[in-house]
Chain A
Amino acid sequence: MSRFWTQALAIARRDLIVEGRSRETVAVVVPFAAAAVFVVPFATDALDVRLATLAFPVYWLVGLLFGMQVALRQSAMETPSQRRQLALLGVDPVARFTGRVLSAAALVLVVLVVTAPLVLLFYDPEPIARPWSMAGVLVLFALGLAMVSTLAGDVTAGLATRTSLAPLLIVPVSVPLLLGAAQALESVVRGRTTLPWVLTLVVTDLALAVTGVVTARALEESNT
């Protein structure tokens, strides 16, 4: 295995072990995401609004907002002394970015996978003919959200306004991800081709990946 992938996988493994033991994300964010799915129907007029029509929008919004929280928590886990140590170990900034994106994407996927059955249970949406065809869409959405959150986390690292500024940076950039994922799911339900929306996700992910690669070194220098 190349040095790059050894470093990237070591960083991802570190993040997932830390999360597996601290359970900060799973124990804090996922229950709130589940609660959000549960409480939305109480904010609607059940006589006028058919809950099934809200199912997919609620799913993607919860996925976006809580997935963003997960990825942001991941990007904040390194202390200044740990960042200094990574720089002095010669860790490739792009490998570090890749590793953190992989671990954050895995945790965003956990949020999406846990909330999916809850949405099906509470909202009873139209059946999805080929649910497995959504697996790729979920992965692309999770990767994109992980990349934009990791970038925003690095840009705002050390700022007192980080917790409010980072989401403001993430949400606008996430619009193509939200659009692509939501329309892909809608296309599956309607029996239409998902290709344009999958391509939207792929292009957005590629643009974010290029941004991450190009800025990784500068962001590392500014944060060590």
Chain B
Amino acid sequence: MTAAVTLAALGNGPAFSAYASTNQTISASTNTKIVFGTEEFDTNSNFVSSTFTPTVAGYYQVNIGAGPYGSGEPSRQSLLCFKNGSTYKRLQDVATPTSSAFINAFSGSCLVYCNGSTDYIEAYIFISVKSGTPVIDSSSGYTFFQAALIRGA
């Protein structure tokens, strides 16, 4: 009975999935918040302005993906999970000193505890370039942000 109750509670926990609906030009060598303009689902309406602020305390599986491209050559690409305004996990950090290509499919995941009231999660990206301007692709398959409660507090 206890297990069934727990599963029922988790089944109703917050979950969302969103993706970038417009291309986002970013400044090189600058931690930039990724904008996710389209929601695929948002069960508790906890995803607002590309920020996830869950209203249920617990442990959340977070998945972030980005599709950088652009003119010129990248020298480093990092994908960051921010919690409460600062870096919580560096999901990817790739130096590409000998490549002229952006890594277009760039993703990672982590577990984040949220207190159900003030804690919030955002997705940031950092790209340094030898030349050119990086752009984040608007595509549900490349640039996405998802989270779901997987364990209660």
A binds B: no
Chain A residues with CB under 8 Å of chain B are: none
